[in-house]
């Protein structure tokens, strides 16, 4: 763990970087938004990380922002960042050089859930570094993660399992698969802007990452082998890749959609399947997760409305985690529920929206981790 003073512990674990600002009794999360395509417009709030992996705090509520991140290995990573507040339900783009002070600092005090997102500018370097597991990663324990603001979802045995499951296992050997995914995304300039525009308060990218992590853990708990797990994680990350081909105005629309618009939105599963089949050589399980993750056991899903026995296990598992995260309020505009409430809501949906048998497995996994 790298520390700057006593008040600003900085934790980097795998792809997640968490900064806790304990002095203000609030947690500010800095999360490496990996995989997201890098924005060329450097309009986000910038932070400085020196070669000792620390940032400079000038006052209690402010610090000098620069966007260079020099690792001990000598690699330089650059980041773009933006701020978002779940309370205010908006995302603010901050001009280059904006100091973390004044109104923003006040907002932090008023919004304990304010999050700052940073994204790597040089994605390839980032992945190469990730492949080496960020030297600073070694002494981060599950307990430190458990204490973080993100811990409402990942704690208990889940954290322990995450500790034993490093990102190499989740995303494939030595980050190679991760790099491949990143390249896929970087081919699609619309991706980052779509993700950004789908805030607040949590971007679709976040949702993809959250779902991928939880789904991977689900698969791990069900005894998936490492190879299957790597494919599964990639597929769950890419499940909504078809959104790239959906009209952006439609995605931004917050009003009630008319049936023809709903149909266009639903087409993302077909488009995602098509895109994945064309740009890569995935296996059948991956294709089915992308294609069937909105199918329902009561045959009211889409795109084919197949019965439960024809839905692949991967798609059923993804669908459960997807809805679980929605109920946990990790997705706009629903109000967040506690994990227990989310499980109760899921229970009422099992057999109709989600597969009952798979849900029972998920329930036991989650309840065991509480």
Write the DSSP assignment of 331-355 as a string of letters.
Answer: STTSPP--HHHHHHHHHHHBTTTB-
Q: Which is nearer to another protein, 254 or 281 (CB)?
A: 281
How far apart are alpha carbons 19 and 283 in whole angstroms? Answer: 38
Could you say which residues in the range 255-274 bind another protein, by CB under 8 A?
Answer: 259-260, 262-263, 270-271, 273-274
- CB-based burial, 272-297: b 16+ in 10 Å, e otherwise: bbbbbeeeeebeebbbbbbbbbbbbb
The residue range among 20-28, 113-121, 222-230, 300-308 that interacts with another protein, by the rule CB under 8 A, is: 300-308
**For another protein, the closer CB: 39 or 261:** 261
Q: What angle do CA 83, 10, 101 make, to 5 degrees?
A: 40
Of the candidate residues 305, 334, 367, 370, the single one contacting another protein (CB under 8 A): 305
> Can you tell me the distance from the alpha carbon of 297 to that of 207, in angstroms, rounded to the nearest whole number?
23
C-beta separation of 20 from 28 below 8 A: yes
Number of residues this chain uses to bind another protein (CB under 8 A):
23
| Contact between 40 and another protein per CB under 8 A | no
Other Cβ atoms less than 10 A from the Cβ of 223: the count is 8
Least CB distance from residue 278 to another protein, whole Å? 7
CB of 228 to another protein, least distance (A): 17
- Does 306 sit near another protein (CB under 8 A)? yes
Residues 6+ positions from 253 with CB-CB distance below 8 Å: 261
* Residue 310 contacts another protein per CB under 8 A: yes
Among 76, 153, 304, 361, binds another protein (CB under 8 A): 304
| Length, in residues, of the chain | 370
| CB-nearer residue toward another protein: 129 or 243 | 243
Question: By the criterion CB under 8 A, which residues form the site for another protein?
Answer: 259-260, 262-263, 270-271, 273-274, 277-278, 281-284, 287, 291, 299, 303-307, 310
């Amino acid at each position: 763990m790298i520390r700057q003073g006593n008040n600003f512990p900085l934790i980097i674990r795998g792809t997640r970087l968490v900064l806790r600002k304990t002095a203000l009794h609030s947690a500010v999360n800095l999360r490496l938004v990996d995989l997201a395509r890098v924005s060329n417009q450097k309009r986000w709030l910038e932070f400085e990380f020196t070669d000792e992996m620390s940032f400079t705090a000038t006052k209690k509520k402010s610090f000098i922002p620069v966007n260079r991140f020099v690792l001990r290995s000598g690699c330089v990573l650059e980041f773009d960042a933006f701020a978002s507040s779940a309370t205010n339900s908006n995302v603010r783009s901050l001009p280059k050089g904006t100091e973390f002070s004044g109104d923003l600092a006040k907002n932090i005090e008023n919004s304990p859930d304010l999050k700052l997102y940073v994204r790597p500018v040089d994605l390839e370097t980032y992945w190469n570094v990730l492949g080496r597991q960020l030297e600073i990663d070694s002494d981060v324990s599950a307990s430190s993660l458990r204490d973080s603001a993100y811990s409402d979802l990942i704690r208990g045995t889940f954290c322990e399992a995450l500790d034993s499951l490093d990102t190499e296992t989740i995303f494939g050997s030595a980050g190679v698969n991760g790099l491949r995914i990143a390249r896929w995304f970087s081919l699609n300039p619309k991706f980052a802007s779509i993700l950004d525009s789908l805030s607040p308060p949590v971007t679709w990218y976040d949702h993809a990452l959250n779902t991928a992590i939880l789904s991977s853990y689900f698969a791990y708990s069900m005894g998936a082998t490492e190879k299957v797990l790597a494919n599964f994680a990639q597929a769950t990350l890419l499940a909504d890749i078809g959104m790239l081909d959906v009209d952006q105005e439609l995605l931004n629309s917050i009003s009630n959609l008319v049936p023809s618009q709903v149909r266009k939105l639903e087409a993302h599963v077909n488009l995602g399947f098509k895109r994945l089949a064309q740009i890569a050589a995935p296996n059948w399980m991956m294709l089915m997760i992308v294609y069937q993750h909105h199918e329902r056991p009561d045959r009211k899903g889409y795109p084919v409305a197949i019965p439960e026995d024809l839905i692949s296990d991967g798609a059923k598992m993804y669908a459960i985690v997807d809805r679980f995260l929605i109920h946990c309020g990790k997705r706009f505009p629903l109000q967040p529920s506690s994990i227990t409430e989310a499980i109760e809501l899921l229970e009422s949906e099992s057999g109709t929206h989600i597969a009952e048998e798979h849900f029972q497995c998920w329930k036991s996994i989650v309840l065991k981790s509480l």
